[in-house]
Amino acid sequence: MEVFNQIEPIQEYLQTQRFKHRSIGLVPTMGALHKGHVSLLNACKRDNDISVCSIFVNPTQFNNQEDLAAYPRQWEQDLAILEQEGCDAVFLPEENEMYRDNPRIRLNFGELEEVMEGKFRPGHFNGVGLVVSKLFHILSPDRAYFGQKDLQQFAIIRQLVTDMSFQVDLMCEPIIREEDGLAMSSRNTRLNPQERQTATALYAALKRGASAVLEGKNLDEIRRDNMQWLEDHGIVPEYFEIVDAETLTPLMNHFERKSVALCVAGNVGPVRLIDNILIEKE
């Protein structure tokens, strides 16, 4: 496994692979790798000749500096996991390699960034768009792999690729969960045992919400009921939303057959977690 900390050497490496007509897949991460990341890497290896994983805690997508400082960083462990799993190359840059000056460009994703994560984390998706654009420019992958857990982020990146004409195929892979249903996340490592147990209420709320949607209950009532249910179970909820899975537009109470996403965000102690599930509504 090759590890690169600078842009030019990894570009030279990848150019050599392209001369050999090898396809290149990218798994962008912020490190603190878990089985969810491994599933993305496995999909990348399945579809491509060369698998690349990037590890970079991107400062421009954090609107809370305490959250940025607390984000887990465990590069040695991450590299050991990637080597064991058969990753071909890792891009592990320092901040001054990715941002040699303070970026002044601002990306606006319109209605996509006005709901859910965009509403509660202003500026977040500008930072996501910036770093993903840079990774696509630097690495020029044929395919890039993201997890369904960050459903809104995937929609943002899909819009970015469309608007900027990036020649990359986007792949969205299913959420990997713990045995008790908690979506795997790098942030889970910050939970103490009691908080870890409390966090399972997020998935439980999504399941009870999905059952209510399929039963035809009032969507606003489902939203309110599950916000209260989360509070009653020790979580400080930010949103419990029911949206069109493609456009992320909040759904009203009368709609035709759609792929529906139920999305939730809440704070468990000092840790902010998100989750979602997809259902088909008749």
137 is in an annotated binding site: no
Beta bridge partners of 237: 266
74 is in an annotated binding site: no
In this structure, what token pair is assigned to residue 50? 């060369």
31 is in an annotated binding site: yes
Residue type present at position 1: M
DSSP 182: P
55 is in an annotated binding site: no
User: Catalytic pick from 37, 137, 233, 254?
Assistant: 37
As to burial, measured by CB atoms within 10 angstroms (0-12 exposed, 13-18 middle, 19+ buried), residue 181 is: middle
Measure Cα distances from 99 to 58, 63, 75, 141 in Å. Answer: 10, 17, 20, 20
Report the residue count for the chain: 282
Residues 90 and 45: their CA atoms lie apart, in Å, by 14
147 is in an annotated binding site: yes
In this structure, what token pair is assigned to residue 212? 């209510």
37 labelled catalytic:
yes
CB count, 10 Å around CB of 126?
Answer: 21
User: For the chain, give me the number of helices (H) and strands (E)?
Assistant: 11, 9
254 is in an annotated binding site: no
As to burial, measured by CB atoms within 10 angstroms (0-12 exposed, 13-18 middle, 19+ buried), residue 91 is: buried
148 is in an annotated binding site: yes
30 is in an annotated binding site: yes
171 is in an annotated binding site: no
- Side-chain half-sphere CA neighbours of 62 within 13 A: 14
Q: Which residues are catalytic?
A: 37
Extract the annotated binding site for ATP: 30-37, 147-150, 176, 184-187
Extract the annotated binding site for (R)-pantoate: 61, 153
Extract the annotated binding site for beta-alanine: 61
Extract the annotated binding site: 30-37, 61, 147-150, 153, 176, 184-187
